[in-house]
Structure 1
Amino acid sequence: MRRIFSTNGGGFSSRRSSRQRHPLLGHLMALLAGALTTLTFAPFDLWLLGPLTLAAFLATLQGAGAGRTALRGWLFGVGLFGSGASWVYVSIHTYGNASGVLAAALTLLFIATMALFMLVPALLYRIATPSRLDPLAFAAAWTLGEAFRSWAFTGFPWLFLGSAHVSSPLAPLAPLGGVYLLSFAVALSAGLLYRLIVHHRLWLLAPLAALWALPPLLPTLWATPGGTPVSVALVQGDLPQETKWSDEGRRNAVNTYFRLTRERAADSQLVIWPETALPMLEQQALPYLARVQSTLPADTTLITGIMQRDADGTFYNAVTTLGDQRDEYRKEHLVPFGEYLPLEGLLGPLLDIFNIPMGSVGAGPPDQPPLYANGLELGVAICYEIVYPDLVRQRALNASVLLTVSNDTWFGRSIGPLQHMQMAQLRALENNRYLLRATNNGVTAIVAPDGRITGSIERFEPGVLTGNVQAMTGLTPFTRTGSAPTLGASALLLAAAAVARLRRRQRFGSTL
């Protein structure tokens, strides 16, 4: 084990001659570490592997120059996104109607581009090492790198280290500081583990053990239930995406959702259909929805995802309620290349050449109020929005329950929907809110405020999930403050490590 982690800028040995002869071993180690990190997430859930793979990656950065550090950060990203986001090919080829060759090329381009984000934590760590704060500097650099990835170019907060720990001993950290605090803890564990193995610092066993032993002593629930339980029914139609928007697909959707609602959901106070459950505009769907609502008890509210179009022709991906009170939410954070085209003037003609279809959807306004139904304030996130911790945290500030609707049909039978579900669980835990998740073909689930799934429908089968939820009152520390404290502390730690490195360089005249 010690020889595995004792690479210092090149191969598996710390000797300079070995580094010069075998730099490819370090490159391969970074690539493999990234690929194995995917096993920490759903559906594999080998969360304990995270500190090990990250410690292996950290080993490849020791003594490396800026160029080699950047390359190994990129290779780690290629391994991570190549294995963990391979579902992109399914979305482009199977449902984006691109040829296999073009889909493969675009997927490789996506992986190579996303891997560039891993240069950020690698290079941030380099400017702050070596110093006595090395493990903390690595954790801070990693956390800030994830934050940058969640923001730059609209963000891609997928495969964050902390997302794998919704059920690990670190889970109670989520209500304190969210996914970034979890990622910080995992990266810090990797830094301590590396120094423990390579430098024989046995005293590091104490902080490493404390890092994993103390969180279970913290409270998981900071909010408390209020009011009476509300019965809910989540309807999953499992309709094929390929024919969904055809005339036959529309008829099938209407018949399927009407039948499932009438037979198995009519006794619930809330009936929830998924994103774009009926493949038609709201103006076309309203007569059908009104007919369904008329068959439900007077105190039952039907909620559905629907496409809307304004008078000016702008389309919106929305959620609307039917019943005594009509409310709506329009998706605010859109998916680039899925719902809108970035750099349309530059990329539009290129997509026309390759005959790649592209949606064009407008963004809803910021700070939309929750939906009100049956005494609940529902904070809504449509599909991809649920992966943004601070966006969902803003919804939770004024909501007693979280609601997300999604169409994960685009992922096919890949691991993507299971990763998506895991991130939704973490949003429930971060904010201590029940979370209702209705999807077209899975995973449809009810998540408790502690992140546990209390009920779900298997993927790729129609069904109705019934259960009870309660409004939650009170806010977690994360809901109150968001990610700012964790990111601010990370920035200060990184700055302190950089200053310590500079002082060491001035004192010893090092060529660090």
Structure 2
Amino acid sequence: MRGRAPFPFAIALLAGLAQAVSIAAPWNGQPQWWLQLLSVCALAWLLQREPPRRAFFLGWAFATAWLTATWWWLYISMHDYGGLPAVLTVVAVVGLAAFLSLYYAAAAGLAARSGGRWGAVVFAALWTLAELLRVTVFTGFPWGEGGYAHLGGPLAGYAPWIGVHGMTFVAAFIAAAVAALPRQRLGGVAAAACLALGLALPLAGAFSTSAGRVPVTLLQGDIPQDEKFEHGSGIPMALNWYGTQLRDATTPLVVAPETAIPLLPRQLPEGYLETVLQRYGRGTQAALLGIPLGNTKEGYTNSVMGVKPGAGAYRYDKHHLVPFGEFIPPMFRWFTEMMRIPLGDFNRGTVGQPSFDWAGQRFAPNICYEDLFGEELGRRFGNPTVAPTVFVNVSNIGWFGDTIAIDQHLQISRLRALEFERPMLRATNTGATVIIDHRGQVTHSLPRYTRGVLVGEVEGRNGITPYAWWVARAGLWPLWLLFGAIAALAMRQRRRAGPAT
């Protein structure tokens, strides 16, 4: 008879908290790959000892604890800056986590139901399918996926081959295989061999070549978020500081963060934008500026404006908008009207917008959490001759305070750099403003929550990684089909074997 784990729900909750910590540890902001494996291993161990119904609720408890502890800082944006009542804010944050955790609950229940000698593979496939659902359904919010914990760890070599979702699968398989070791002698030997292979296989390759180096200037205004859109304080502060830095910068490229210019062009003081356009419209320098664009008739966009000599203004419009912050989901206008968040309903840009060509490089902007969606960034890599050589992320994480959100977002950017073997420039309002090389390493950085100017050099890269090649052509469909087929075969085998005990 199968033994029952003591306090299984307590173990599931603690393991979920450990999973959250593994993405970016509170003590140093770095991923902890071993802790991520341990947390999923604990869950897999629990599931193999429980019937499907209890497994469903254990998976739900694990994921709710994990996701709540991962993005608890949403409380700051909704309550401190949005003015939502504290109780309602807690309900919203935990409710979002609990709702999205249903994907993982279903994966856990199905994994317990399928069982069999291929249990580790089936668990990993179902778990990754749950992650893919979180990427796509209701516009997607995959913040805190387990694969990010393996940045810098033994599994990081998988990144340019199969991306973060593939890394999530490999990690889940290893964790489940280890959990099964005491129960399956023959299967345990095979699992141990696969574990050794996964940890030791040197997959990291050199799929890119240098496209040259360019000096850059990244601006971090540190405008207080509660003043950022105030006409009597934050707006003149931003216009004055960024105007001065744009005037005095000397490098070939200058990058200002998301909504560094916090007004629409028609709202700016007379001559302000014209001065910037004239400054960079001739000479040897160019600039990328975060600014809202649009009008009442056509709608508004969260955008990056690019200015360079001898050409009209470049424009990138954010495609992947933040629910409630940048667009209002159907039937939720009442919710957003309770918060004091400006410019809450933007238009979407298209996927795969052209890069900003300058100084022998192709700079590809993305705004805020758009770098969370590698499959969308990958759309720009279908044609190697026009593929980006440098990613540029402009963000304002000031909405979430001086919290672990800054570190989590930094790790997301680092993994995108590793997947595509492209450097990433990050210009933010409060941090982390950094230069990341094509190996995912931070080479230059500014202290967070300081007003400063980061001057450094970025090396652009040419070439296409295997991940960039297939995701540009097929998106996430190869993963959906592969893991879906594994899950379907397992369910079919289980039906033939009879009901679960």
Same fold? TM cut 0.5? yes
Aligned to 1:392: 377
CA distance in structure 1 between the partners assigned to 2:434 and 2:184 by the alignment: 46
Name the CA shift for 1:418/1:384 in 2 (closer, same or farther; >3 Å). Answer: same
Aligned to 1:333: 320
Aligned to 1:489: 482
**Which segment is superposed worse, 385-394 or 485-494?**
485-494
Q: Give 1:145 shift.
A: 1.0
CA distance in structure 2 between the partners assigned to 1:30 and 1:171 by the alignment: 26
Q: Give 1:427 shift.
A: 0.8
Aligned to 1:38: 20
Q: Give 1:357 shift.
A: 4.7
Equivalent residues of 1:404, 1:436 under 8 A apart: yes
Match of 2:227 among 231, 240, 243: 243
Equivalent residues of 1:39, 1:47 under 8 A apart: no
CA distance in structure 2 between the partners assigned to 1:393 and 1:381 by the alignment: 12
Name the CA shift for 1:135/1:66 in 2 (closer, same or farther; >3 Å). Answer: closer
| Structure 2: segments with no counterpart, 5+ residues | none
Name the CA shift for 1:420/1:400 in 2 (closer, same or farther; >3 Å). Answer: same
Question: Is 1:474 paired with 2:468?
Answer: no
**Deviations along 1:89-126, whole A, 9 cap, x unmatched?**
11111111223333223223223223223223223424
SS at match of 2:154: coil
Opposite residue 111 of structure 2, the aligned amino acid is Y
Q: Give 1:173 shift.
A: 0.4
Q: Give 1:157 shift.
A: 1.1
Name the CA shift for 1:232/1:355 in 2 (closer, same or farther; >3 Å). Answer: closer
Percent identical: 33
CA distance in structure 2 between the partners assigned to 1:314 and 1:491 by the alignment: 39
Name the CA shift for 1:465/1:197 in 2 (closer, same or farther; >3 Å). Answer: farther
Aligned to 1:260: 245
**Deviations along 1:8-31, whole A, 9 cap, x unmatched?**
9xxxxx43xx57xx6xx1122111
Q: Give 1:200 shift.
A: 5.3
CA distance in structure 2 between the partners assigned to 1:220 and 1:338 by the alignment: 39
Q: Give 1:389 shift.
A: 1.6
SS at match of 2:33: coil
Q: Give 1:467 shift.
A: 1.8
CA distance in structure 2 between the partners assigned to 1:438 and 1:30 by the alignment: 38
**Which segment is superposed worse, 86-95 or 270-279?**
86-95
Equivalent residues of 1:316, 1:363 under 8 A apart: yes
SS at match of 2:306: strand
CA distance in structure 1 between the partners assigned to 2:103 and 2:487 by the alignment: 18
Opposite residue 179 of structure 2, the aligned amino acid is Y
Question: Is 1:92 paired with 2:78?
Answer: yes
SS at match of 2:326: coil
Opposite residue 280 of structure 1, the aligned amino acid is L
Aligned to 1:278: 261
Equivalent residues of 1:92, 1:98 under 8 A apart: yes
Name the CA shift for 1:465/1:81 in 2 (closer, same or farther; >3 Å). Answer: same
Aligned to 1:4: none
Q: Give 1:160 shift.
A: 0.9
SS at match of 1:159: coil
Alignment RMSD (CA, Å): 2.2
CA distance in structure 1 between the partners assigned to 2:459 and 2:30 by the alignment: 31
| Structure 1: segments with no counterpart, 5+ residues | 1-7, 9-13
CA distance in structure 2 between the partners assigned to 1:420 and 1:149 by the alignment: 17
Aligned to 2:138: 153
CA distance in structure 2 between the partners assigned to 1:125 and 1:282 by the alignment: 54
Aligned to 1:26: 8
**Deviations along 1:443-491, whole A, 9 cap, x unmatched?**
0111111111111111100111122223322111111112433443222
SS at match of 1:437: strand
CA distance in structure 2 between the partners assigned to 1:35 and 1:137 by the alignment: 24
SS at match of 1:102: helix
**Deviations along 1:394-451, whole A, 9 cap, x unmatched?**
1344222111111100110111111011011111111111111111010011111111
**Which segment is superposed worse, 457-466 or 192-201?**
192-201
Aligned residues: 481
